[in-house]
Structure 1
Amino acid sequence: MGTSIARLVRSLTAGVYVVGVADGEVPNAFTAAFVMQVSFDPLLLALSINPDHSSYALLKRSGAFSINVLKKGQLELAAHFGGPASANKLASMEWTPGRMGVPLLPQCLAWFECQLTAEYPAGDHVLILGKVMDGRLLDAKADPLTYSDTGALDGAAALFPASFDD
């Protein structure tokens, strides 16, 4: 039954992103699908992160993060940044630091650079709000990679409950 709930949740439309964080000389990045716009004025984006993830501490210390929008066909990039924590996932990638020091990936569809404005507990994750301070559309002809395009890449089907509570 868990697979059925996983299939149900995959019907929600969501993109796939690489979230970049950095604290001084220590950068990191991870794949995320829990990202959305929450306000026009000011322009705010939200992301959800597991507080046990190594990037959460970097994000908290720096107060900034980037959201790099993946293109269709960049499943390998999603898998690279979605894999287990390693010494430096960015070492083999082309990237530049944004004005707040967070990693920006020039091979992506677009990027946003955000300043942390608030956070809220959200079950087993923390909801992070960030004010967009800068951004760039890098490939206007590309289509975004969607969560449904990733199949079982993240193994999330095993995390869903077997059934809904009555």
Structure 2
Amino acid sequence: MTMPLNPETFRALLRQQAATVAVVTAPGAPPVGFTATSFTSVSLRPLLVSFCLNRSSSSWPTMAQAEHVGVHLLGEGQHEAARTFATSGIDRFAAHADWRPGPYEVPLLNSPIASLVGRVAERIPAGDHVIVLVEALRGQHTGDSAPLLYHKGQYAAVRPSP
């Protein structure tokens, strides 16, 4: 039976979807970074990905001006990085010192299972969020680690089916 939706019910419904955990970073003074479960591929021609960010986020003012960003797909052992970049009111880069400056001054986390640096192609307002389209310019992956997932409000990992 279906029922009318409100924000709480909608959130509970969407928690049924498992999502890859990504950390998005952008250069700034100071740099910003946040944990996102809204990352997805968009196009192969051109190479486009997207993520969403709430306009009330402390990362939004920097992200609204950023020309380039980094997207880092976390592996199953990187719960602490995911939690750090999801925590409000802290200097996330001081709390997670395992990063380095990359191309276009984009902060790059060390040891994700995959990462890319891209040029912000478009920002599309969508309700209380903004969809950010990014043209991928550079990337790398390890190829042999399981991704960190977020499901039902908890971090999880992929386990092969028997």
Q: What is the TM-score when the length of structure 1 is the normalising length?
A: 0.80
- Structure 2: tracts of 5 or more residues without a match: 1-5, 156-162
1:94 CA drift (Å): 1.4
- Structure 1: tracts of 5 or more residues without a match: 153-166
1:63 CA drift (Å): 1.3
Please point out which of 125, 128, 131 is paired with 2:132.
128
Match of 2:64 in 1: 60
1:143 equivalenced with 2:139 (yes/no): no
Please point out which of 93, 96, 102 is paired with 1:98.
102
- Counterparts of 1:142 and 1:84, CA distance in 2: 28
Tell whether the 8 Å contact from 1:75 to 1:150 is kept in structure 2 after alignment: no
- Counterparts of 1:39 and 1:49, CA distance in 2: 20
Tell me how large the CA RMSD over aligned residues is.
2.1
Please point out which of 23, 28, 32 is paired with 2:32.
28
SS where residue 104 of structure 2 aligns?
coil
- Counterparts of 1:126 and 1:22, CA distance in 2: 18
Identity of aligned residues (%): 30
- Counterparts of 2:152 and 2:143, CA distance in 1: 20
- Counterparts of 2:120 and 2:79, CA distance in 1: 28
Tell whether the 8 Å contact from 2:38 to 2:51 is kept in structure 1 after alignment: yes
- Counterparts of 1:75 and 1:111, CA distance in 2: 17
Match of 2:53 in 1: 49
RCO higher in structure (CA 8 A, sep ≥6): 1
Report Cα offsets for 1:53-111 as digits up to 9, x if no partner.
2222212223111111011122221111101132x211242111221111111121111
For residues 78-97 of structure 1, the aligned pairs below 5 Å read 78-86=82-90, 88-91=91-94, 92-97=96-101
1:17 equivalenced with 2:22 (yes/no): yes
Please point out which of 112, 116, 119 is paired with 2:116.
112
